[in-house]
Amino acid sequence: MPAYEIPNLRFSAESGAAVARRRFVKIDANEKGVQAAANTDAIVGASSQPTEKAGEVLEIYDGIVMVEAGAAITAGSAVMSDAQGRAVPFTAGSGALQAGVAMTNAGGAGELVSIKI
């Protein structure tokens, strides 16, 4: 099944740094939207468009959104963020937080996968 997207909420935040397209996003302590960088990050959505630097408008979606995969993912499985804000299979422990559930499969890194956040 091809990846699909049904955004529930579209919102924006001021970017705190460059953010790649289709990556998990969190809000930092300075109230800025930044690309997730760890499996312990609390995810608020996924970037719909990239930003090149801090201070730009970062468009964020939640709901069912397309995120770049960082590894193979099976539909129906829990996912978390990797160090580049990509979706990877969830591994419990060490404070890891679940970012969502995969709605489609991804054969490996670089593919788009639909995630229910």
CA separation, residue 30 to residues 17, 37, 50, 74, 108 (Å):
12, 16, 20, 35, 34
* Global pTM value: 0.94
Q: What is the spatial distance between Cα 27 and Cα 33, in angstroms, rounded to a whole number?
A: 5
Question: With 90 as the cut, is the pLDDT of residue 1 above it?
Answer: no
* 87-89 and 57-68 beta bridge pairing: unpaired
The CA distance from 104 to 29, in Å, is 32
Phi and psi at residue 67, to the nearest 5°: -130, 145
CA dist 27 → 56, 91, 104 (Å): 14, 22, 26
How many CA within 13 A on the CB side of residue 44? 18
The answer as to CATH 2.60.120.200 being correct for domain 6-65 is no
Q: Measured between alpha carbons, how far is 47 from 45 in angstroms, rounded to an integer?
A: 7
Query: Please, what is the average pLDDT of the chain?
Result: 95
pLDDT digits (tens, 9 = 90+) for 66-102: 999 999 999 999 999 999 999 999 999 889 999 999 9
Domain regions of the chain by residue span:
6-65, 66-116
